[in-house]
């Protein structure tokens, strides 16, 4: 584990990234599937979400590796993101990656897990990294192992690095087709930050990827790779954003994030999975503002995590799933002192019971 403060140059060049407060799939003209996650207000406050799960073939690359073996190793990679918030803004706080290599013949495979967490204040990074050898998932919060790997015989090379010029943390298994870049969000500079923060994941099609867990992942592979368009996973009566929030909560990923949610993400998942589909849609649509309005989020739960906010959201969704009034959620908002905020158009309607079942 490493934990330290790292200043980065304020006038460094900007990483090419997409400035969209949403999950977006960018289709590249090169043979690479690239996912960009910037995560603004429209991102779910679910702390850990499965972004992608993919199996690839490791190949020789031009960087001096020997010839690719006749039966090359394969790698199974699961990539997750977890979030935090500041002043009502949800942002990507880091990523987890689980890697399992499978070798051919009599050799054993290898498994690694790695977590990169970082926040920034006035161009000063506060970062921690955890590595663990021997297990791909769940991640070890006290992992002290190096995950750097140079196995020339099996054409496997894995590295973790920091690029100060771009203030970017990277995890690469380059010859196996995986490249992850993470730029932390500056909570003080916010829109004045020179680098565009977020997470970028590049999967090389030269490594013959097989995309897995297609019903759970938040970043969709291209249609040519068996994926779907966002419009194809959209639920009737829900927006694409609301449909992705529903997808994130229903996927029931293990939650061992930096800021504990005290079981709220799992509780929301259980509530939604036990809910009739039409009531799911109503609950997501009517309660989504709780996770969307930055002013309300800042007032109701101004912590880096979202335990209190998620508990309110769960109470609202449960009201719709059980066809009962939102009495508890309304009471909690009133007791919080956030019941009369301006510029929160849904708030007064919710307090008056107009966005809840009649019971």
Model confidence pLDDT, tens digit, residues 84-108: 888 888 888 889 999 999 887 656 6
Worst-scoring range by mean pLDDT, 36-45, 93-102, 176-185? Answer: 36-45
> Residue by residue, what is the 3-state secondary structure of 166-216?
CCEEEEEEHHHCEEEEEECCECCCHHHCCCCCEEEEEEEHHHCCEEECCCC
Confidence at 36, pLDDT banded by 50, 70, 90: low
Say if pTM beats, i.e. exceeds, 0.85: no
The first and second tokens of residue 104, run together, are: 């051919």
Scanning the structure block, which residue is given the tokens 């690479």?
32
Query: How much is the pLDDT for 61?
Result: 55
Helices (H) and strands (E) in the chain, counts: 8, 14
Q: Helix 264-273 crosses helix 240-250 at what angle (to 10 degrees)?
A: 110
Mean pLDDT for the stretch of residues 172-196: 88
Confidence at 68, pLDDT banded by 50, 70, 90: low
List, in order, residues 6 or more apart from 29 with CB less than 8 Å away.
Answer: none
Instruction: Compute the radius of gyration of the chain from its Cα atoms.
Output: 21
The first and second tokens of residue 353, run together, are: 């019971």
**Extents of the domains making up the chain:** 2-227, 240-351
């Amino acid at each position: 584990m490493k934990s330290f403060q790292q200043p980065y140059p304020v006038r460094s060049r900007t990483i090419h990234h997409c400035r969209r407060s949403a999950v977006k799939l960018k289709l590249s003209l090169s043979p690479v599937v690239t996912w960009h996650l910037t995560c603004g207000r429209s991102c779910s406050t679910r702390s850990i979400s499965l972004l992608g799960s993919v199996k690839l073939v490791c190949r020789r690359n031009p960087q001096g590796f020997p010839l690719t073996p006749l039966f090359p190793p394969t790698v199974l990679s699961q990539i997750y993101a977890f979030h935090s918030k500041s002043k009502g803004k949800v942002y990507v706080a880091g990523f987890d990656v689980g890697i399992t290599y499978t070798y051919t013949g009599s050799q054993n495979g290898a498994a690694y897990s790695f977590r990169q967490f970082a926040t920034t204040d006035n161009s000063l990074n506060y970062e921690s990294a955890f590595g663990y050898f021997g297990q791909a998932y769940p991640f070890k919060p006290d992992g002290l192992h190096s995950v750097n790997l140079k196995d020339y015989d099996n054409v496997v090379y894995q590295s973790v690095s920091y690029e100060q010029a771009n203030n970017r943390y990277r995890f690469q298994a380059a010859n196996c087709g995986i490249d992850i870049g993470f730029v932390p969000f500056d909570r003080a500079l916010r829109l004045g930050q020179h680098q565009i923060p977020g997470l970028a994941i590049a999967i090389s099609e030269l490594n013959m990827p097989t995309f897995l867990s297609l019903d759970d992942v938040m970043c969709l592979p291209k249609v040519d790779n068996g994926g779907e368009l966002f419009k194809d996973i959209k639920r009737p009566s829900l927006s694409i954003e609301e449909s992705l929030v529903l997808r994130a909560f229903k996927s029931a990923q293990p939650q061992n994030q930096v800021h504990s949610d005290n079981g709220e993400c799992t509780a929301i998942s259980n509530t939604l999975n036990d809910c009739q589909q039409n009531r799911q849609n109503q609950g997501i649509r009517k309660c989504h503002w709780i996770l969307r309005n930055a002013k309300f989020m800042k007032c109701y739960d101004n912590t880096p995590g979202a335990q209190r906010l998620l508990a309110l959201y769960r109470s609202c969704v449960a009201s719709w799933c059980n066809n009962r009034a939102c009495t508890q959620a309304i009471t909690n908002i009133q007791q919080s002192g956030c019941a009369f905020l301006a510029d929160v158009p849904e708030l007064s309607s919710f307090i008056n019971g107009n966005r809840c079942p009649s019971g």
